[in-house]
Structure 1
Amino acid sequence: MSERRSPVTLKIILIGNSGVGKSSFMNRYVNHRFTNMYRATIGTDFLSKTVNIDGDTVTMQIWDTAGTERFQSLGTPLYRGVHCCMLVFDVTFKSSFSALEQWRKEFLLQGEPMDPSDFPFIVVGNKSDLSNREVSHKKALQWCEEIGAEYFEGSAKEDLDVEKPFLRAAQNGLQQYKKHTLENTGHFQITCEQLRETRNNCQC
């Protein structure tokens, strides 16, 4: 009889400029809904979705951020403990793509991941159904290769390739979770062994 694995909770965050469709992308994936009525996110919002990743039951806590300067002070507590970060931009607005580098740097600075050089980023180009794009697939892919991120394009409105980036974020986040859990367990075991050795060698 195989051992049953405990459920894992992962924190996934969507960041990027206001208006690029972060909320729409999240709602399309979790609730399978889309609305043309734009409502700016006030501070933060999050939804949960449970998926199965290679035999592991994973609950994704997906956090959506406002993407505006006045709410960036929320970044420090919000960015802590994130397992995968999704950088979202609008393919029809070049400025939203150009801003991703600053968003990435801000996340690494405030989130303080254990291993910044190995932290997983997923880049999402939203509104791929529109013809008036200002950022080519090639350009976005080139930047992603430079920073070691994976690139996906999709459309929340038309429900095009929305699921793929979230599932990849869950896979990458699960790898981070297992890696750091193993590291912390290893450190604990070493400490216990050292403690036992110290007690055995004690001459008092």
Structure 2
Amino acid sequence: MSTSSRKKVLLKVIILGDSGVGKTSLMNQYVNKKFSNQYKATIGADFLTKDVMVDDRLVTMQIWDTAGQERFQSLGVAFYRGADSCVLVYDCTVSKTFENMNAWRDEFLIQAGPPDPDNFPFVVIGNKIDMEPQRTVPAKRAMAWCQSKGNIPYFETSAKEAVNVEQAFQVIAKTALGKEDEEPFIPGEVDFGDEPKEAKSSGCC
């Protein structure tokens, strides 16, 4: 094994979305395997780290949970800079949170200023599928939106019941690692890059 493949990679992942969609809950479920019914608004931003294996490489994910309230959006630039992946979260039971996804995506691209915005790795999560009877955003609608933005990987999750959370973050880590590896790009090392359609569609269920 070469030295470069042994070195630890730090990936900065930003979670964005309206207040109350479950950003903090998703992060806590993934990192700490915990869920709390007590809703507490995130002030500014907070982050947790988790070491994960991605294609036989040890990766440290630094997951930033940002406040959904607009009055904190001015804090954005420092948090967004250097991000390797951005997760857009909405609540399946509140249409407005889905409709605001364009604004969150645009805001991120403006603040983070990635060199290749068209190919920046986003992942979309529709949270709270444990509340299926109250659903207002059909999966087809969300998948069509993801497709129109360049086949963004799409997951439906329940932070409460730990449904699809692990799988979603595994794809988030892979897409972020794909961005890290672009210079120099090592073909075949991650499922992201040369075959975007095939690789990305695999995470869309």
In the superposition, the TM-score normalised over structure 2's length comes to: 0.86
Aligned to 1:164: 167
**Where does structure 1 lack aligned partners over 5 or more consecutive residues?**
184-204
Aligned to 2:15: 14
Which digits, 9 at most, give the CA deviation of each residue in 1:127-160, with x for residues without a partner?
A: 0111111000010000000002111001011111
Letter in 1 for 2:30: Y
Aligned to 1:53: 54
Q: Deviation at 1:77? A: 1.1
Aligned to 1:146: 148
Letter in 2 for 1:49: K
Aligned residues: 181
**Where does structure 2 lack aligned partners over 5 or more consecutive residues?**
186-205
- Say yes or no: does 1:177 pair with 2:180: yes
RMSD: 1.0
Q: Structure 2: how far apart are the matches of 1:44 and 1:123?
A: 20
Aligned to 1:86: 87
Q: Deviation at 1:114? A: 1.4
Q: Structure 2: how far apart are the matches of 1:6 and 1:38?
A: 38
Aligned to 1:187: none
Which digits, 9 at most, give the CA deviation of each residue in 1:4-49, with x for residues without a partner?
A: 4211000001000000000000000000000101100010010000
Which digits, 9 at most, give the CA deviation of each residue in 1:154-192, with x for residues without a partner?
A: 10111111111111010000010111x428xxxxxxxxx
Q: Deviation at 1:92? A: 0.2
Aligned to 1:195: none
In the superposition, the TM-score normalised over structure 1's length comes to: 0.87
Q: Structure 2: how far apart are the matches of 1:3 and 1:83?
A: 23
Q: Structure 2: how far apart are the matches of 1:141 and 1:93?
A: 16
Identity %: 51
Aligned to 1:155: 158
- Say yes or no: does 1:3 pair with 2:2: yes
For the residue of structure 1 that corresponds to 2:177, the secondary structure is: helix
For the residue of structure 2 that corresponds to 1:67, the secondary structure is: coil
Aligned to 1:132: 134
Q: Structure 1: how far apart are the matches of 2:58 and 2:113?
A: 27
Larger Rg: 1
For the residue of structure 2 that corresponds to 1:174, the secondary structure is: helix
- Say yes or no: does 1:43 pair with 2:34: no
